[in-house]
Amino acid sequence: MVSHSVPQTSGQTDLFLRRLVDIIDMTHELVLLASLIDWAKFDSQYDSSYHPSQGAPGLPTRLMVALHLLKYMFNLSDEELIARWV
């Protein structure tokens, strides 16, 4: 049996321990759009295109698909997209 202990805190919320759903607006249009996308289908479709022994480690499929989607939804250049994402 694995025991998970909860670290003791001073009562202040630690930004790095907060869950994403506590930080972002879950009713935002992009959050709602993301919930409608079948991310696993993208993973299965593009998984065969990547091999761990070739080139630099790949980024998650969800990140790459989402960035391409945002680029075209908002008509952004590569530089504008990365500036917004960062």
81 belongs to a structural domain: yes
4 belongs to a structural domain: no
The verdict on pTM exceeding 0.85 is: no
Do the Cβ atoms of 68 and 42 come closer than 8 Å?
no
Give the pLDDT of residue 75. Answer: 96
Residues 61-76 have pLDDT tens digits of 888 889 999 999 999 9
38 belongs to a structural domain: yes
User: By residue range, what is the domain housing residue 44?
Assistant: 15-49+58-85
Do the Cβ atoms of 65 and 41 come closer than 8 Å?
no
7 belongs to a structural domain: no
8 belongs to a structural domain: no
CB atoms within 10 A of CB 61: 19
Residues 14-64 have pLDDT tens digits of 666 777 778 888 898 988 999 999 999 988 888 777 766 777 777 788 888
Q: What is the 3-state secondary structure (H, E, C) of 17-76?
A: HCCHHHHCCCCCHHHHHHHHCCHHHHHHHHHHHCCCCCCCCCCCHHHHHHHHHHHHHCCC
